[in-house]
Amino acid sequence: MPKVFVTRKIPDAGIRMLEQKGYAVAVSAKDGVLTKDELGQELQGKQYDALLSLLTDKIDGAILDAAGAQLKIVANYAVGYDNFALADFKQRNIYATNTPDVLTNTVAEHAFGLILSIAQRIAEGDRFTRAGKYHGWQPMLLLGNDLYKKTLGILGLGRIGSRVAHHGSRGFDMPVIYYDVRRNEAFEKEYNATFMATPEELLARADFVSVHVPLLPTTHHLMNAERLGMMKKTAYLINTSRGPIIDEAALVEALRTKVIRGAALDVFEKEPDLAPGLAELENVVLTPHTASATEETRAAMSEVAARNIIEALEGRVPPNALS
């Protein structure tokens, strides 16, 4: 009977699919992230055929070797897979998979929630009201900014970036500009969008910069002090991708000194820690890496991860194979 190890409790849907196949499924008993040593110990000598991992699990050659030669697949419960050392998977002929598509809408909705929240000062207004500071309507209280006709800059036009662009263009009449390593003329036509040849050009023109590039050596600190300085003073930065794409200390400084107007972040450079000073700023909205956290989407991610495992264990190429 094939054996599967799940590194932390996830929605039941996928677990049920695996159990219905007759697999023996073990879910980590720890209500927290397993350290690398703990994960290695969990796997050592247990002969698991498949591992269902989270984005907080670093999976490299040492972990794959601890699992043993029978391991066929590691299915990540995330679309991002910067936690995988893919070369190590390839070397050992082990499938790595992710969960694209099912979370596109949810993350794009969250990104838009962040855009609205920072521009219309919704989270700040909530804090203000709860603190008992609201003593009656005032003409100058908590003035924010409209989205209507403001330029939306998409850094990275993948599935999620395109969906955020769709919401901005169709929902709020925002002109869309984008930067990506690949130009997409069909997208330009559909949304009357403009391709920027460099990130710098986009930063100089956008009123809202929404980050959707994957974390790679080339995108680490893509938003550093210099590039933050290229943004409009009135602009907002939104990140639902991966924290290390922004130099968070530089962002704190830029927000404090009003180099840009505000930021809204779902991801952080050293999760779960925040850069010193970030949480004290009023001109930021922060959410705890929950952009994909709806009941529907997390259940769907669980099913996609399970489907990838089933396909691999039944001898087929899993639909979301990365290696």
Binding of ligand DGY at residue 10 (CB under 6 A)? no
Binding of ligand DGY at residue 291 (CB under 6 A)? yes
Is 248 among the catalytic positions? no
Q: Smallest distance, Å, CB 74 to ligand DGY?
A: 15
Q: Which of 83, 77, 75, 82 is CA-nearest to residue 102?
A: 77
Stretch that binds ligand DGY, among 44-52, 183-191, 253-261, 286-294 (CB under 6 A): 286-294
Binding of ligand DGY at residue 262 (CB under 6 A)? no
Binding of ligand DGY at residue 74 (CB under 6 A)? no
**H or E stretch including 238?**
strand 236-239
Q: Smallest distance, Å, CB 20 to ligand DGY?
A: 25
The single residue of 38, 109, 271, 303 carrying the catalytic annotation is: 271
What is the rounded CA–CA span in Å between residue 72 and residue 94?
5
What is the rounded CA–CA span in Å between residue 232 and residue 212?
19
What is the rounded CA–CA span in Å between residue 10 and residue 8?
6
The single residue of 242, 261, 298, 307 carrying the catalytic annotation is: 242
Residue 71: count other Cβ atoms within 10 Å of its Cβ.
Answer: 24
What is the rounded CA–CA span in Å between residue 309 and residue 316?
10
What is the rounded CA–CA span in Å between residue 215 and residue 240?
11
Total residues contacting ligand DGY by CB under 6 A comes to 8
Binding of ligand DGY at residue 243 (CB under 6 A)? no
Binding of ligand DGY at residue 80 (CB under 6 A)? yes
Binding of ligand DGY at residue 108 (CB under 6 A)? no
Contacts of residue 53, Cβ cutoff 8 Å, sequence gap at least 6: 7, 59, 74, 75, 76, 77, 83
Binding of ligand DGY at residue 304 (CB under 6 A)? no
The residues of the shown chain that bind ligand DGY, judged by CB under 6 A, are: 55, 78-80, 103, 289, 291-292
